[in-house]
Structure 1
């Protein structure tokens, strides 16, 4: 079997949560259930503001006894760590930035596996991610001084395009507090547990799910020319008001593949464009997974 292509994700970091209350503390702060976390699975989760807006998106797993690691884009790490630390209070949980101790690698072309399953390879973990239509993907997190994974290297644009093709976007600096989890299909990707107890923003997230329809969703597109995370998207019939925002993007073969959060009503007719109603046109692509039905 050909080894997957890999990329050191230098723009990612790691938070360490250590102590007897680490799982319980994270369970009370994040959108996923950390009390039932086991050694064979990771958890996709969001950290929300009281208004239900995502401050950070991350993936967490058991690293050792009373220790959980959280990997996330570095541009959201410092603010998330600072805010989480405010709520520790008397909990037996110590939060630290452990980014210097670990290297996060993205792998493309891994064997098919259910998203968020976890395999261990010595001191490294391999976490399956949602796949593109053509290839499996994974995160490999290993000690910072460990050898680079075998296989050819890919470019940051290769990885970013694959993320968009998989219909997945992580909160970045330009999109902090831009989305309620469902706006980036987070519940469809396994990032929200609606049966667990309270966490910051839980009432807003639950209300979005159970009262009325969700009016905005992440969709996959292609476009000619470059895009950037946080860039607004406009509809041809409404040049004054943005219809959405780019949540993730990467270039491949001279074209941009992007995942954008879009008003669903804007998909019914007309055309969508980057930056302005006269900007590059977006060409829709199919999501590689099903969205929950709406009432």
Structure 2
């Protein structure tokens, strides 16, 4: 429990009452029925805890100016009713972290991968200087859960009296007892929401949602990002890819007109002058393979030529095999002949993405 001291004690207690099995950082490993949890993620509706994820509040009179000068997205687009993905980059243009940025009670919040919590907070703190900006770890005060389902928009409307239809739209639950619960719709293979609020109100929201949904674990929740080709950045991939290589331009996570931010010159040069040579792709295998984030692997075509890729995320698919996102060199794969296989002989198919990444598409 020592590593969970940053989390809400009442939320941990509630999860334990729901038969959740937690790892050392507070991730839900299972609620006791892992096979069912895995299968249900395909269509939902499912709910899970995301409170292990990093959550920073950025407050102060100069919070907007500070973030506007650090992040790739235009913070003018982040309002009480609209959230956004945004990257935080090194001067070389490589993505250090990927944030879901939203406003909660007039302050800016950054939600991102738990493995980067300490590193990113320290780095941001370095650049505050004498600005009126305060960074606060909010995981004890604000609980984070996820809800998703094929008819999730209707469930949200019926159970939480809230209408949130468009991706990145956000709003508070229209119920006096849960009035501080904020819902953010995020990209997914179907309707998916990130939900934030005080523990006691989140518990009530959870119980309402559970009337018509089941629970799932943190690992299976990640499959929704892979299926929707939503990039993720963690401790193993931080600083390895420029923003366009992770398709962040396809999520409006980069604004090329707002002014300077770390890495802006390189990212803009790629956008305006050069062809994007690498992209994140979605792949599928018939048999289960295990690849860690950041792990390099090769695919072999029928001519025996090797094509190198780097794993972003990989998981066991619902029915069979594995599904993964990986960054590849487009020219190399365009020249591939015939079927692609892993070095162990597993056939790999490259699937269409939910968005266009080349002009030819």
Shift of 1:86: 0.6
1:244 has 2:313 as partner: no
1:186 has 2:248 as partner: yes
Correspondence 1:124-273 to 2 at 5 A: 124-132=181-189, 135-145=190-200, 146-147=202-203, 148=206, 149-150=209-210, 151-223=213-285, 224-225=287-288, 226-236=290-300, 243-251=308-316, 252-268=318-334, 269-270=336-337, 271-273=339-341
Structure 2, gaps ≥5 residues long: 1-42, 154-163, 174-178
**Per residue, is there more helix in 1 or in 2?**
2
| 1:44-75, Cα deviation, whole Å (9 max, x unpaired) | 1000001000110011111123x111111111
Q: TM-score, normalised by structure 1?
A: 0.90
Name the residue aligned to 2:118.
Answer: 78
1:41 touches 1:117 (CA, 8 Å); kept in 2?
Answer: yes
Structure 1, gaps ≥5 residues long: none
Shift of 1:281: 3.5
1:232 touches 1:242 (CA, 8 Å); kept in 2?
Answer: no
1:280 paired residue among 346, 349, 358: 346
| 1:33-52, Cα deviation, whole Å (9 max, x unpaired) | 11342110012100000100
- 242 and 143 in structure 1: CA distance in 2 versus 1, 3 angstrom threshold: farther
2:145 touches 2:196 (CA, 8 Å); kept in 1?
Answer: yes
Secondary structure of the 2:122 match is: helix
Q: How many residues align?
A: 288
Secondary structure of the 1:175 match is: coil
Q: Distance in 2 between matches of 1:76 and 1:279?
A: 35
Q: Which has the larger radius of gyration?
A: 2
Name the residue aligned to 1:115.
Answer: 167
1:62 has 2:142 as partner: no
2:77 touches 2:83 (CA, 8 Å); kept in 1?
Answer: no
Shift of 1:88: 0.5
2:172 touches 2:181 (CA, 8 Å); kept in 1?
Answer: yes
Q: Distance in 1 between matches of 2:77 and 2:194?
A: 21
Q: Distance in 1 between matches of 2:143 and 2:304?
A: 43
Q: Distance in 1 between matches of 2:46 and 2:252?
A: 25
Q: Distance in 1 between matches of 2:314 and 2:44?
A: 25
1:13 touches 1:104 (CA, 8 Å); kept in 2?
Answer: no
Q: Distance in 1 between matches of 2:315 and 2:165?
A: 24
- 62 and 292 in structure 1: CA distance in 2 versus 1, 3 angstrom threshold: farther
**Per residue, is there more strand in 1 or in 2?**
1
- 100 and 206 in structure 1: CA distance in 2 versus 1, 3 angstrom threshold: same
Q: TM-score, normalised by structure 2?
A: 0.74
2:226 touches 2:325 (CA, 8 Å); kept in 1?
Answer: yes
Q: Distance in 2 between matches of 1:229 and 1:240?
A: 24
Q: Distance in 2 between matches of 1:290 and 1:73?
A: 26
1:233 touches 1:272 (CA, 8 Å); kept in 2?
Answer: no
Shift of 1:292: 5.8
